[in-house]
Structure 1
């Protein structure tokens, strides 16, 4: 596969960790957290990367693997996740992930249960269903009581719905705006925009230049980019089919309404059956392609609506 883009795609696993998950580029992560996650709070001057794989307290407990997990100088914990595709229980997963940095703070012997702050950050390449008609990009969530007062201020969930960020280069005003702009547009840029001349963005564009990757890094990025593009293609196809299906159903319902004569009903029924068969075959074809590209089964199930048993049959064909 030939990489035509000048800069790495941060929504790929390799690209995200290349920019934010290495000691060499730690200053990028610190600035991102200060500007986007902690704009109205204290600023962190230093942080350390922690093990991103967390194991439960017993063998039967599930494990969690975070994209990035780091600890600030005052003990603050940051979990940062780049989520490429919509997941039914992504919010549940966020809550589950936050339980690990809570538990790891437990101390043996006498302990007063004082905890450090925990931030779970989701950078989303999609929008939550309930937000599809909203325009807000950044959602900050706290534990509140029945009077909407913050009950506990050390547990914060921040979700960035990137499709809602629509500012152009000319409209960028704050460093927060610039971070969101560069995350969304980086792989489509040929050169650093004039609006992103700060030193931190000079560092970012240097780190993101694909031509400077080692051969091993380039191979890893190609594999990561292929997975991202395949997944995006499956999702885009499912969305397009969903829209087509909606128009088809509306057309069929409109034709059926008010028609009682048996011959007319028979013709409509035949058209419905034919379109349903075509729709099912289309889903089967998407599933075959997704399986061939090793897309996880749970994602294929959500995109196609097929059952696990149906997917197993396709795999065994």
Structure 2
């Protein structure tokens, strides 16, 4: 899924630094955020208001190395929401979600709420561009359960959305959750207003879409956006290099072990690891020089 902005796009991707902050992080008008959270946790109870927790993850709100952007807020019932956007590969995102949730849990206890029965709920939401979980469904709700799958505790709820798994067309989208995910996956691909699905006229989605319209940007907003695009491009480039280097280093270590065991010829080692014969010979020469 391509989430990088190009010159021919009218709308900025929601799952981008600028797009996320302009929609989910819109403090002037929280209608989209409130409706989106309600859809993501699958509750019929409206969220009437939200308050942003600016200091909850101080120093952790943006990880330029992996393209992660976080938001934390509470509703009128003091329920806590943590939203994470992930457009890169992140094999340990479950551990990241647990870290955020337990950080919030510990912060709640430290504030003097030692009566555990009165602790409010924590919802940790991860929206991923890529497929990571081994499930067919694009939306997953998870709580602590016993070995029979029975609910053990629901004070913490983990919500995962994998955009790559979402395949509904606009005419199939009936629920707010389906409309939200369709919008997140397609808004940046629209080049003509006639391509708008009817439900994009719903007020909560219209608020977000207006914020993503690059034609309505002020000069300052345009400059800020272009800086973020450049920064994200560099972050993606650095991340890709890191992944490539990790793959190469892993192959080198594997080939070293195979050469030390001495059970295969260098031709067989090269074929098994999909590398050139010279690549294996170079590693072999370094091994010989270390003896």
Range class of TM-score, shorter chain: 0.7 to 0.9
With normalisation by structure 2, the TM-score equals: 0.73
Residue 145 of structure 1 corresponds to which residue in structure 2?
146
Give the aligned CA root-mean-square deviation in angstroms.
Answer: 3.4
* 8 Å CA contact 1:83, 1:124 repeated in 2: yes
Deviates more, 1:216-225 or 1:95-104: 216-225
Q: What's the CA shift string for 1:18-77, capped at 9, x where partnerless?
A: 11112123111001011222x23532111111115536xxxxxxx643611001000000
Report the CA distance shift for 1:116/1:5 in structure 2 as closer, same or farther (over 3 A): same
- 2:37 equivalent to 1:30: no
Residue 120 of structure 2 corresponds to which residue in structure 1?
116
Shift of 1:150: 1.3
**Structure 2 Cα separation of the partners of residues 148 and 85 of structure 1:** 31
Q: In structure 1, the residue corresponding to 2:147 is in which secondary structure?
A: coil
Aligned residues: 246
> Tell me, which stretches of 5 or more residues in structure 1 are unaligned?
56-62, 243-264, 281-317
**Structure 1 Cα separation of the partners of residues 199 and 278 of structure 2:** 47
**Structure 2 Cα separation of the partners of residues 160 and 197 of structure 1:** 23
Structure with more contact order per residue of length (Cα contacts < 8 Å, sep ≥ 6): 2
User: For residues 275-290 of structure 1, what are the structure 2 equivalents within 5 Å?
Assistant: 276-277=275-276
Residue 4 of structure 1 corresponds to which residue in structure 2?
8
Residue 75 of structure 1 corresponds to which residue in structure 2?
78
Q: In structure 2, the residue corresponding to 1:24 is in which secondary structure?
A: coil
Q: 1:196 aligns with which of 195, 200, 203?
A: 200
Q: In structure 2, the residue corresponding to 1:67 is in which secondary structure?
A: strand
**Structure 2 Cα separation of the partners of residues 89 and 274 of structure 1:** 26
* 8 Å CA contact 2:56, 2:104 repeated in 1: no
Report the CA distance shift for 1:10/1:279 in structure 2 as closer, same or farther (over 3 A): farther
Residue 181 of structure 1 corresponds to which residue in structure 2?
182
* 8 Å CA contact 1:145, 1:151 repeated in 2: yes
**Structure 1 Cα separation of the partners of residues 36 and 113 of structure 2:** 37
Report the CA distance shift for 1:270/1:126 in structure 2 as closer, same or farther (over 3 A): closer
Shift of 1:8: 1.1
User: For residues 147-162 of structure 1, what are the structure 2 equivalents within 5 Å?
Assistant: 147-162=148-163
> Tell me, which stretches of 5 or more residues in structure 2 are unaligned?
62-68, 248-263, 280-291
* 8 Å CA contact 1:25, 1:207 repeated in 2: no
Q: In structure 2, the residue corresponding to 1:200 is in which secondary structure?
A: helix
